[in-house]
Structure 1
């Protein structure tokens, strides 16, 4: 042929062209199919994929788990998923709460079921009585179901502030996050996050009064309602300050005020219940402080003091390492994240929640290994990390998160002798 082009060359070129066109058609077909897939199906695919990863990790650790306070060696999944606080929830599900607080040999209040709120274990108990299925598998089932619901609601929440692809990646970060194995064990976190996400969604939609039934359930599931009350209050202040460009009708002023006050009252509801049943007004706080005693001894609850005590304790334990400086850097890092250009993309209300919950943690919690779990309610802030669209960033972040799951299970969930790093 002319110009040195053979018949074979022409045939191969034609085949390559047809192959390239075929691949382009296949990609277009996948894009069309993806766009036609309902949003909830996309979310559930991400959720199921994440559960496969977390389940594999949990089973791997269960296989090498030695004998411990809760299980025999190499326990089955359900048994391994109900260790640590899961056992406390089992006790509450089986026998409820004691009317008398345990007292230690030093005359202080000891650990008891009063540190754990009733909605989750009583829900599992009700299902146990209805179905006859034991506590452990039902507790895992309730947690997984609530986690799936949280993923769906998180997508709806993010769609108020972020485009579809970024909202879905936020869900992926939540589902694959380092502490995401907690979404499928006998802990109340999944249920609390579901209720919290529903409340934040209503807050963003400015549906204040419909929040209250959810707040009532949330207040008796996990601590955190006081932080939500603060977030609602900050939301009201912001709306008032911007009313010139964003009208703030009187009926909404009344509704948001009622919501904030009611949430604050419900936030101390469990403290009141514990005090009435046991006859000791400080029953709940004294019980919570019992978990802090092995670190810094017994003492009163002084707001914002625990982080200073924790910095001193962990500095001594680490041979003088400036742990306090790390705490300061963490707070500054959160501020930069919330105030930076990525943070502004998720809107004012979710950033106000981040501020409110961070202040709540600083006010009442002692920093230790379980602090990582207590950070889980900040999960809407994952939308900030989802903003960059770089494929390298997104894939790398997911890989780091999966590695974080392994690290958290190794250091906090898996029991290795006398364990100072509870989840």
Structure 2
């Protein structure tokens, strides 16, 4: 039985006649209304010990809370030319950890709203970018898993655990729009449109190096399949040019920060200051690939009263399950090599450079196209069950990050 046949007759007629943009808009607005309700409920949780929003929190204060403060600061004051130092002489948290595109775009959009209009502009940018993300995601998925499955993919994406990102001053959603447009262009082999998108991605959120790795893996795959899927010289040139651009842009911000401050490793030391907040270290913080996870997992296990080695076992199991899903998962395989290779590349990037802490779930946001592997399943019970879990997890995330807004995670 097809998905359409499983619908009530009246719903099937509406579904068949509704333009794609209108259907996706209805889904997106419905998800945003639910998120707004959850944010309103969360305002009543604020005000406890350690809460950064106080007893009179509003949705407006949530929009400009946490890292949104840094983006707002950048829009008003720019970046420091002298790195701030703590009492121990180490670099402390500063705005060089945040890239400028979202901050500047939000500032321009917020200009009509007066001197303090940045939060309004930020909310508008996130909200509108989220809708276009849904449109692009739907178009990508429709050709791979069918229209109804693509709709469910958008539902999971829009109402997922990180649904609040579509309504607050974070750069993730704008970056996701650039990423989805780039993946869509690669799938359709419209390579020219990827050049500006790579630049925009690279100066919106860290992670464009993962896109570079994916391009290299795609070139190898296309070369291996060249007898059944001819690889022209022009395409090879585009893959090499796009990969080189992505690598250049991926390291450009480090160079810019070094030149502006006179400290060659200014960006790296700034990023490490966040790690020192979670796990203080003796001496100057240092970085080596994959070391963040290997040191953090035993640390967090011990914080929970568990043996440190168990944290490494959990990490190994998670990596193995994720790899198995990308390689053998029937739903994932239907998404095509571009999405699968990007997911693998981004996961490897996170393992190499990231230190797992409270932002870990948010940094998984670029893996959102994998929702297609769930939307592909035709079981309505499974789809509805997943949606319920998504909304519950969204509430848990909102309650902790914006409601309680302290350093402790708890299940509401």
Give the TM-score category using the shorter length. over 0.9
1:327 maps onto 2:350 in alignment: no
Contact 2:28 2:134 in 1 (8 A): yes
Structure 1 unaligned residues grouped into runs of 5+: 1-23
| 1:84-130, Cα deviation, whole Å (9 max, x unpaired) | 10111111111111111001111111100111110011111122335
SS of 1:245's equivalent in the other structure is: coil
Q: Which residue of 2 aligns with 1:205?
A: 188
User: 1:44 maps to what in 2?
Assistant: 25
Contact 2:138–2:151 (8 Å) recurs in 1: yes
Structure number with the bigger relative contact order (C-alpha 8 A, sep ≥ 6) is 2
SS of the counterpart of 1:126? Answer: helix
Query: TM-score scaled to structure 1, two decimals?
Result: 0.90
What residue in structure 1 maps to residue 294 of structure 2? 308
Contact 2:47 2:404 in 1 (8 A): yes
2:35 is aligned to 54
- Aligned counterparts of 2:197 and 2:22: Cα–Cα separation in 1: 25
Select the structure of larger CA radius of gyration: 1
Change (3 A) 1:122 1:301: same
CA distance in 2, matches of 1:405, 1:139: 21
User: SS where residue 144 of structure 2 aligns?
Assistant: coil
Q: In the TM superposition, what is the alpha-carbon distance from 1:136 to its structure 2 partner?
A: 1.6
- In the TM superposition, residue 31 of structure 1 has moved relative to its aligned partner by 1.8
Q: Distance in 1 between matches of 2:42 and 2:11?
A: 37
Q: State TM-score, norm by structure 2.
A: 0.92
**Structure 1 position 320, deviation (Å):** 2.1
Contact 1:209 1:259 in 2 (8 A): no
Larger mean Cα displacement after TM superposition, 228-237 or 288-297: 288-297
Listed one character per residue, the Cα deviations across residues 14-64 of structure 1 (whole Å, up to 9, x for unaligned) are xxxxxxxxxx9x943432232111111111111111001111001110133
Q: CA deviation at 1:376?
A: 0.4
Say whether the 8 Å CA contact 2:46–2:57 is kept in structure 1.
yes
Query: Does the residue aligned with 2:248 lie in a helix, a strand or coil?
Result: helix
More divergent stretch after superposition (180-189 vs 331-340): 331-340
Which blocks of at least 5 consecutive residues in structure 2 are unaligned? none
Shift of 1:137: 1.9
Pick the aligned partner of 2:76 from 94, 98, 101: 94
Structure 1 249/57 Cα, relative in aligned 2: closer, same or farther at 3 Å? same
> Shift of the alpha carbon at 1:72?
4.0
Q: Equivalent residue for 2:359?
A: 370
Conserved 8 A contact 2:35-2:164 = yes
Q: Is the 8 A contact 1:78 1:140 kept in 2?
A: no
Give 1:258 deviation, angstroms: 0.5
Q: How many residues align?
A: 397
Which residue number corresponds to residue 413 of structure 1?
402
CA contact (8 A) 1:43 1:152 kept: yes
Is contact 1:189-1:222 (8 Å) kept?
Answer: yes
Q: CA RMSD in A?
A: 1.9
Aligned residue among 56, 59, 64 for 1:82: 64
Q: Which residue of 2 aligns with 1:20?
A: none
Correspondence for 2:387: 398
Q: Counterparts in 2 of 1:119-198, with a 5 A limit?
A: 119-132=101-114, 134-198=117-181
* Structure-to-structure mapping, 1:195-234, within 5 angstroms: 195-234=178-217
Alignment counterpart, residue 104 of structure 1, candidates 72, 80, 86: 86
Q: Pick from 211, 227, 245: which aligns with 2:228? A: 245
1:285 paired residue among 262, 265, 268: 268
Which shows bigger deviation, 69-78 or 245-254? 69-78
Find the counterpart in structure 1 of residue 324 from structure 2: 336
* Conserved 8 A contact 2:24-2:154: yes
